[in-house]
Amino acid sequence: MSEFVLEMKDVYKAFPGVVALDHVQLQLKPGTVHALMGENGAGKSTLMKCMFGIYSMDEGEIYIDGVKTEIHNPMDALEKGIAMVHQELQPIPARTIGENIYLGRYPLKNFGPIKTVDHDKMYADAARVLKEVKMDFDPHTKVGELTVSQMQSVEIAKAVSANCRVLILDEPTSSLTQNEVEALFRIVEDLKSKGVAIVYISHKMDEILRISDEVTIMRDGQYIGTWDAKGLTTDFIITKMVGRELTNLFPPTDNVPGDVVFEVEDFTSINPKSFRHVNFNVRKGEILGVAGLVGAQRTELMEGIFGIRSKTSGKVKYLGKELTITKPKDAIDNGIAMLTEDRRGSGIMAVLSVADNISIASLNQYVEHGIVLNTKKIEQLVKENVEKMNTKTPSSKTPIGSLSGGNQQKVLIGRWLANNPDVLILDEPTRGIDVGAKYEIYCIIADLAKQGKSIIMISSEMAELIGMSDRIMVMCDGRVTGFIDGKDATQENIMELATQFES
Amino acid sequence: MKKVIDYIKGNPIVAMLIVVSIFVGLTTDNFFSWSNLGNLISNTAIRFIIALGVSGCLITKGTDLSAGRQVGLAACLSGILVQRADYASRAYANLPEFNMWLALIVVVVIGALIGLLNGTIVSRLKVPPFITTLGTQTIVYGACLVLTNAQPIGGFQKGYTELITGRIGNVAGFHLPYLLFVALGFGLFFAFLYNKTRHGKYMYAIGGNEIAAEVSGVNTAKSLTLIYVTAGIMYATAGWLLAAKSGGASSSMGMGYELEAIAGCTIGGVSTTGGIGTVPGVLVGVLVFELLKIVLQFLGVNPYYNYIVQGVVIVVAVALDIRKNIKKK
């Protein structure tokens, strides 16, 4: 009997042109949380997909309880006790919790000569596993009615129902509030005590240090090492991940905020549960951070300002002049740009080239003779943009979908800079991006502010808000609950404002 | 040379068809003949014009099932307008005889209006294109039946049929059909439209990610409407050409052309998941499909089997194309 519940040895996997995994190993002990860390593109997800049977390994071996085995597909993995909760959840919203949990392995009963789904057993079992993940829900509820964190609990319940012995959690907290994170951790502790080995992928250092027992770090498809989590420091992990010393998490911001240029007055959504009576302003060359819990309606507010969502009242002024904005184009024409939160959903056009993705918002500048686009000038724009942003792409003709998250984000920021906007709204600009690329994006933001652009930055990472903002606006449940000067901001005073719910 | 090999590797259907064509050419008498080439060109030209129209809809993740019936309506209407005044069984005895160019303008305007209807329903009312054009397909067919009273239309002005079926020049004994130049002209125009104008870039952007395009300031409703209007104009033009080429028109004309056009586009690499497709690709796709039909005819395959073979080719071509993309992952 091996001391490891699951072992991956010498895993090699290549894609055309890239070696994704270069002889990597991973050893999981039962009843532990094993953090898997590395920058985006380090090969974490690829390794997990090999373990879960989504990819097949070119070389390497998998042992379960010391016995060599092969995993052919996700169903096979589940049968062997391996379950995975993906970063981007893929539930079937129109079906019930019970059906989502038992999808593909419905309990059956005999109905004469044919087998039919045993709904009674399915829902009874579902209710039982829901209890195990501390979720008090009727399993007949449609999954589409749940919040993201509840959907995640359903996914975990699915893993529990399969009696899994290895559970992979891929960035499970990226869209959870603090309370939800705590609830998730309780479930993780519970599973751990039952002897489940948990692979925990996250970029959030505080979570890793708090919850994990062991840490494996990968870099550029290579195995760097495994350490006992006790005694590890953030600096040590980052150094190993990046492969060089990172002296600063944030660049020095030497921008000097000037006069108030951008004003929002009495902004109220058409949806009574969303933002209401919001007033704020931004100075020239200022970085205004926007803090709040999930559900604080920060994104909704900014999308309202940008013309994606409708409002019932409210004014937007630039240099004292009121702007009429009913659609994104109006905002863009008035010098406003918005990097949206959902990079895949409303940012990138995955199959189109980097060049097309950069130029799409600024094509008007390149029209000649009323109709023809000057493709030479566009190529020039793209070239400069890629260089300035330090975007790593094989060529400007590469489809953006094949770049890493950080590089996609740089392309999207570049898209807006091509328009030379005065006001930039950045919604979670570094979500899902690795440490190195994060720093580069902070530098870009700081530089833009220095150039005199007004920046509004929504972020759910406290450190980022405190490290980058000149001022922080805090929202709770659709209202602005206060402003904090960047110098005075602490996690505590932000949280205090962020939780001022109306009684 | 390497490029040629890579192309063949990437497009096995095209390669296979070329091989089969050579085989058929060597084993039958008239396959490699000027008249057969002329046939192929004329058939391909009109299908290509229709396929260009539908390509914009496909690239933006839509479709246009009304294409074929629109071609039919335009053909019938053109026919009615250009019927000779002295023709015995005119559809509308009191109608004056129209100049053929005026008839073209009339059908193009009507085609544009049908396109505007499709585009508006798709972009403003957000009805899925499949359903929208399924509806307009039926409406247009009904309108065509009402217009023609389900009677065939004949007795066109001589100049009309002669012009469209006319040929020019002499390349080693081959007279180039006018239709070749018409098709090339439209091909060049669409290549320009797709690659060198904002409209083209916006079209690919909408196909790539409609929400992202909207957020980037693209007026997606306007772009989509314009795409369906352009498509309507192409179908109308094709109908006007088809009536002349056939020397007559009837309400059954154009039936199923939308499916052939969609098949041609997809064989030519237009992605049904949006954002991908080129004019040369569409040309190759349509050409392959027309070549296939002629090859089957020369092989003496029972015409009833033709449909089975064509269907298999569509599915296999697209399956191979999708496999290519899956591998890249």
* Contact between residue A449 and residue A287 where contact means Cβ atoms under 8 Å apart: yes
Q: How many CA atoms lie within 13 A of B127 on its CB side?
A: 14
Measure CA of the first residue to CA of the last residue in chain A; give whole Å.
57
Please say if the pLDDT value at position A430 is more than 50: yes
Residues A309-355 have pLDDT tens digits of 999 999 999 999 999 999 999 999 999 999 999 888 899 999 999 99
Q: Is the dihedral of CA A152, A157, A162, A165 positive or negative?
A: positive
The residue of B6, B210, B216, B218 whose CB has the most chain A CBs within 10 angstroms, and thus the best one to mutate to test that interface, is: B216
| Two structure tokens written together for A466 | 């405190």
Tokens 């550029």 -> residue: A220
| Two structure tokens written together for B179 | 């239709």
Q: Do B215 and A347 touch (CB under 8 A)?
A: yes
For residue B26, the domain's CATH number is 1.10.3470
- B225 inside domain: yes
- Beta-bridge mates of residue A429: none
Q: Which of A172-181, A285-294, B116-125, B266-275 has the lowest mean pLDDT?
A: A172-181
Interface of A with B (CB under 8 A): 15-16, 306, 308, 327-329, 332-333, 338, 340, 345-352, 356, 359-361, 363-364, 367, 371-373, 375, 415
How close A86 comes to chain B (CA, Å)?
18
In terms of C-beta density within 10 A (0-12 exposed, 13-18 middle, 19 or more buried), how is residue A273 classed? exposed
Pick B197's closest partner by Cβ from A345, A346, A373.
Answer: A373
- B327 inside domain: no
Q: Which of A205-209, A245-249, B230-234 has the lowest mean pLDDT?
A: A245-249
How close B194 comes to chain A (CA, Å)?
11
Reported as a pLDDT band with limits 50, 70 and 90, residue A247 is low
**The pTM of the whole model exceeds 0.90:** no
Q: What residue in B sits closest to A14 (Cα-Cα)?
A: B329
How close A333 comes to chain B (CA, Å)?
8
Q: How confident is the prediction for chain A on average, in pLDDT?
A: 89
Q: What residue in B sits closest to A16 (Cα-Cα)?
A: B328
Q: Do B198 and A332 touch (CB under 8 A)?
A: no
d(CA A107, CA B22): 57
A54 contacts on B by Cβ (under 8 Å): none
Q: Do B216 and A371 touch (CB under 8 A)?
A: no
How close B223 comes to chain A (CA, Å)?
14
Q: Angle CA(B260)–CA(B264)–CA(B268) in degrees, nearest 5? A: 170
- Beta-bridge mates of residue B156: B83
pLDDT confidence of residue B299:
86
Sorted by where each starts, the structural domains of chain A and their CATH numbers stand as 6-242 (3.40.50.300), 248-335+421-503 (3.40.50.300), 348-420 (no CATH)
| Two structure tokens written together for A152 | 């995640």
Pick B328's closest partner by Cβ from A16, A340, A349.
Answer: A16
Is B201 near chain A, with CB under 8 Å?
yes
- B328 inside domain: no
Please say if the pLDDT value at position A246 is more than 70: no
A119-132 vs A148-161: helix crossing angle, rounded to 10: 110
Q: What residue in A sits closest to B206 (Cα-Cα)?
A: A349
d(CA A467, CA A449): 14
Q: Do B205 and A360 touch (CB under 8 A)?
A: yes
pLDDT confidence of residue B101:
95
Is B271 near chain A, with CB under 8 Å?
yes
Number of domains in chain B: 1
d(CA A315, CA A317): 6
- B135 inside domain: yes
Residues B192-205 have pLDDT tens digits of 999 999 999 999 99
B209 contacts on A by Cβ (under 8 Å): 345-350
- B173 inside domain: yes
Between strands A471-476 and A479-485, the pairing is antiparallel
* Contact between residue B32 and residue B25 where contact means Cβ atoms under 8 Å apart: yes
Q: Which of A153-162, A319-328, A350-359, B183-192 has the lowest mean pLDDT?
A: A153-162
Following CA atoms B59, B243, B291, B192 in sequence, which dihedral angle do they give, to the nearest 10 degrees? -40
Q: Do B213 and A349 touch (CB under 8 A)?
A: yes
For residue A238, give Cα distances in angstroms to A35, A155, A169, A246, A346. Answer: 14, 30, 21, 7, 31
In terms of C-beta density within 10 A (0-12 exposed, 13-18 middle, 19 or more buried), how is residue B63 classed? buried
Residues 95-154 of B with CB under 8 A from A: none
- B299 inside domain: yes
Reported as a pLDDT band with limits 50, 70 and 90, residue B103 is very high
d(CA B265, CA B271): 8
How close A439 comes to chain B (CA, Å)?
25
Q: Do A346 and B211 touch (CB under 8 A)?
A: yes
CA nearest A203: which of A20, A433, A407?
Answer: A433
Pick A352's closest partner by Cβ from B205, B218, B327.
Answer: B205
- B329 inside domain: no
Residues B54-97 have pLDDT tens digits of 999 999 999 999 999 999 999 999 999 999 988 888 888 888 88
Residues A16-36 have pLDDT tens digits of 656 789 999 999 999 999 999
The parent domain of residue B131 ranges over 2-321
Q: Is the dihedral of CA B96, B98, B102, B107 positive or negative?
A: positive
**Complete edge-to-edge strand list for the sheet that includes strand A479-485:** A336-339, A423-427, A454-458, A287-292, A471-476, A479-485
Percent of chain B past pLDDT 70, that is, above it, reads 98
The residue of B60, B206, B214, B215 whose CB has the most chain A CBs within 10 angstroms, and thus the best one to mutate to test that interface, is: B215
pLDDT confidence of residue B329:
43
* Contact between residue A137 and residue A148 where contact means Cβ atoms under 8 Å apart: no
- B194 inside domain: yes
Contacts of A497 (CB under 8 A, 6+ apart): A291, A474, A476, A481, A482, A484
Q: How confident is the prediction for chain B on average, in pLDDT?
A: 90
Residues 204-223 of B with CB under 8 A from A: 204-205, 207-209, 211-219
Amino acid letter, residue A310: S
* Contact between residue B156 and residue B83 where contact means Cβ atoms under 8 Å apart: yes
Please say if the pLDDT value at position B310 is more than 80: yes
From the CB of residue B32, how many other CB atoms can be counted at a distance below 10 Å?
Answer: 13
Chain A to chain B Cβ contacts (< 8 Å): 81
